[in-house]
Amino acid sequence: MTTYSSVRQPVYAKGGMVATSQPLAAQAGLFILREGGNAVDAAIATAAALTVVEPTSNGIGSDLFALVWHGGELHGLNASGRSPALLSREHLINGELPTHGWLPVTVPGTPRGWADLHARFGKLPFERVLAPAIHYARHGYPLSAVLASNWQRGIEFHQKRQGKEFEAWNGLFAPAGFTAQPGELWSSPAHAETLERIAHSRAADFYEGELARLIDAAAQDTGGLLRASDLASHQSEWVQPIRTAYQDHEVWEIPPNGQGLAALIALGILDGLPLPDHRDDVEGLHRQIEAMKLGFIDTQRYVADPQHAEVPVDKLLSASYLASRRALIGPQALEPEAGDPNAHGTVYLAAADAEGQMVSLIQSNYMGFGSGVVVPGTGIALQNRGHNFSLDPEHPNALAPGKRPYHTIIPGFLTRQGTAVGPFGVMGGFMQPQGHLQVVVNTVRYGMNPQQALDAPRWQWTGGKTIEVEHELGADLARALQQRGHNIQVQLNPGAFGRGQIIWRGEDGVMVGGSETRADGQVAAF
């Protein structure tokens, strides 16, 4: 077994466990577990708290995806939103889709996602579950170290933006005298009031009530396309999770419009390739990288909203197709091209309870704080997920009204021969499927515990033959990969490699969790 020195040790418990990137949010989930809530209650409480205590990565205006192990099977929820009905190519600016402002804003799916998860699986009253988040928003909390650093970068970025639509952002996240230093207090009474409206109405107010009216008014006042009718027509979707085999385990993801398919294709390719006994072997890393590149390029070619385009998931995961892609991997780095299967700013949390219910949940505004648009007086920071639409009108993910874009956020889940092992995830844009592959290989092939699997040095493909690596990977391995034809670049920012959480549950009910050392996170358990 390959091991790595860890700043943290894995956490063991039997009563319940929550792992996420911000300690106060983890404690919110733990509080709900100790109050008698189940894993879904704890996950919702943690997710709601994260909109307050880590607004640098998500907010009430986010999207959400979740995998829930309940009753001996896995359930999937796609709570991502669609583009406004008024959106058209005529709204592009100089033929481009901007990263910020109203144009990339899609309908936020998170509030309804919380309510739908709770309605199907929750135990405690919905208002009780959202209470910790409301408390932190109203009374404030001190910023943690990594959060403060990301917040300060966000202030420097967003304060340069001009336009009426960005004015409310500064008032909320960069008020006079606020410097975003570790330990500095931040609160948002408006955020608390919005969460209360969501709690009392089971999210209906957000989509059909006063909050919907305020979002509509803000859009019309500052040039947005989102309307109350877009909000009113939004629904979450319960979906059948997709999977692939890796050794004697099954790896599960949410189906498109998410990019979890990339991890499954890559792991399916790897399942037929032997990996060396030692994790830090150039042959093993080379094969993982090549498989990931092929998985990614196929996903970028085919993934779209399945209600608007056929996504050939079964064909892409078929044994024959995976074998054809596997055959492309040789001793040298390849320039990946999509195959033909017909012939191809985020927070994550994991929660588990003593009864065996487990949740893998991810929500995000995208690009840090999101679009930079805040609905005045509400604390609602809106996402910019629409930026992931393709501007090629012939692409299945082409920009269009009423459509879900290609989505980067993906929750993962691991089973073994039909028995639940547990939830896992690695947040961080296009790093996410790459992080999924690496932690699964670290765990299943190399026998690492959750904390070791997260602490191991990471790599990521960024395009062509370019691979970014953490400096902990070491110069010898970096040079060996370079000799295989990879363009190796050392990335010194640990945040570029994602932030993961893992909870595994044994047959005896003992849980073991790990939380990302690249973030402020914590495993909270009892």
- 344 pLDDT band (50/70/90 cuts)? very low
pLDDT at 343 over 60: no
Rg for the chain (alpha carbons), in Å?
Answer: 22
Which 3 state secondary structure label does DSSP give 93?
strand
Which 3 state secondary structure label does DSSP give 10?
coil
Q: What is the pLDDT of residues 196-205, one digit of tens each?
A: 999 999 999 9
pLDDT at 162: 85
**Cα three-residue angle 154-155-158, rounded to 5 degrees:** 80
Mean pLDDT of 319-329: 95
Burial class (CB in 10 A: 0-12, 13-18, 19+), 338: middle
Please indicate whether residue 346 is annotated as part of the active site: yes
Q: What is the pLDDT of residues 276-301, one digit of tens each?
A: 999 989 999 999 999 999 999 999 99
Nearest Cα to 410, choosing from 348, 351, 350, 358?
A: 348
Mean pLDDT of 108-118: 98
pLDDT at 4 over 70: no
Which 3 state secondary structure label does DSSP give 457?
coil
What torsion do the CA atoms of 51, 52, 53, 56 make, to the nearest 10 degrees? 60
Q: What is the pLDDT of residues 381-390, one digit of tens each?
A: 999 999 999 9
Mean pLDDT of 6-23: 93
CA separation for the pair 357, 78 (Å, rounded): 19
Nearest Cα to 218, choosing from 77, 381, 338?
A: 381
Q: What is the pLDDT of residues 54-92, one digit of tens each?
A: 999 999 999 999 999 999 999 999 999 999 999 999 999
Which of 354-363, 422-431, 500-509 shows the lowest mean pLDDT across its residues? Answer: 422-431
pLDDT at 298: 94
CA separation for the pair 77, 68 (Å, rounded): 8
pLDDT at 346: 83
Give, for 27, the enclosing helix (H) or strand (E): helix 23-34
Q: At what angle do helices 126-139 and 39-53 cross, to 10 degrees?
A: 20
Which 3 state secondary structure label does DSSP give 50?
helix
pLDDT at 6: 63
pLDDT at 341: 64
pLDDT at 320 over 70: yes
pLDDT at 357: 98
pLDDT at 493: 87
pLDDT at 306: 94
What torsion do the CA atoms of 225, 231, 236, 242 make, to the nearest 10 degrees? 0
Per-residue exposure over 252-289, b if at least 16 CB sit within 10 Å of its own CB, e if not? bbbbbbbbbbbbbbbbbbbbeeebeeebbebebbbbbb
- 495 pLDDT band (50/70/90 cuts)? confident
Q: What is the pLDDT of residues 121-152, one digit of tens each?
A: 999 999 999 999 999 999 999 999 999 999 99
Check residues 5 and 321 and name the one with the higher pLDDT. 321
pLDDT at 368: 86
The active-site residue, picked from 51, 222, 346, 378, is 346
